């Protein structure tokens, strides 16, 4: 079994992402690994910053802080620490890119549980991450 030292857990405030975090915490405790929760704020970072865009980013950062608060409460419940990271971009691209670049050992994602028909039309962060990642991905339902 490969050694798992670092685990990346993308969160979006959903119950499913917290379920993914709980699973990541259990794995982290087994391997004494470090957990990083990642929130990707949707948007394209190369867009010039306007007042509207600046306000959008501030609101999204506030929302990310709320997601991290929930993640910290969950980690505290399991007596585990975690690191928080916010990045801007398209989640379907950024999650795998971040994990690949930072050389994480595992990505743990909470699944949305969409039917295959909906995935075709809506796309799937989980599906995109699986295909783009060089890092093993665990999908938690």
Give the pLDDT score at 124: 85
pLDDT tens column, 26-36 = 999 999 999 99
Confidence of residue 5 (pLDDT cuts 50, 70, 90): very high
The number of distinct structural domains making up the chain is: 1
Read off the pTM.
0.87
Percent helix, strand and coil across the chain, each to the nearest 5: 50, 20, 30
Quote the domain boundaries for residue 70: 6-140
Query: Do the domain assignments include residue 118?
Result: yes
Those residues whose C-beta lies under 8 Å from the C-beta of residue 109, and which sit 6 or more positions away, are 9, 10, 17, 20, 95, 125, 126, 129, 137, 138, 139, 140
Query: Do the domain assignments include residue 1?
Result: no
As a whole number, the mean pLDDT across the chain is 88
Spatial distance between the Cα atoms of 111 and 114, rounded to a whole number of angstroms: 8
* CATH code, 131: 3.40.50.620
Query: Do the domain assignments include residue 104?
Result: yes
pLDDT tens column, 54-78 = 788 789 999 999 999 999 999 999 9
Query: Do the domain assignments include residue 35?
Result: yes
In the predicted structure, residue 122 carries a pLDDT above the cut 50:
no
């Amino acid at each position: 079994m490969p050694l798992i030292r670092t685990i990346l857990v993308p969160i979006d405030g959903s119950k499913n992402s917290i379920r993914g975090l709980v699973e990541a915490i259990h794995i982290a405790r087994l391997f004494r690994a470090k957990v990083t929760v990642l929130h990707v704020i949707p948007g394209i970072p190369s867009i010039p910053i306007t007042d509207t865009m600046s306000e959008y980013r501030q609101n999204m950062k506030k929302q990310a802080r709320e997601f991290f608060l929930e993640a910290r409460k969950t980690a505290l419940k399991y007596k585990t620490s975690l690191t928080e990271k916010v990045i801007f971009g398209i989640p379907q691209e950024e999650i795998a890119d971040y994990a690949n670049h930072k050389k994480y050992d595992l990505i743990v994602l909470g699944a949305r549980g969409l039917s295959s028909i909906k995935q075709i039309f809506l796309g799937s962060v989980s599906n995109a991450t699986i295909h783009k990642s060089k890092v093993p991905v665990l999908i938690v339902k």
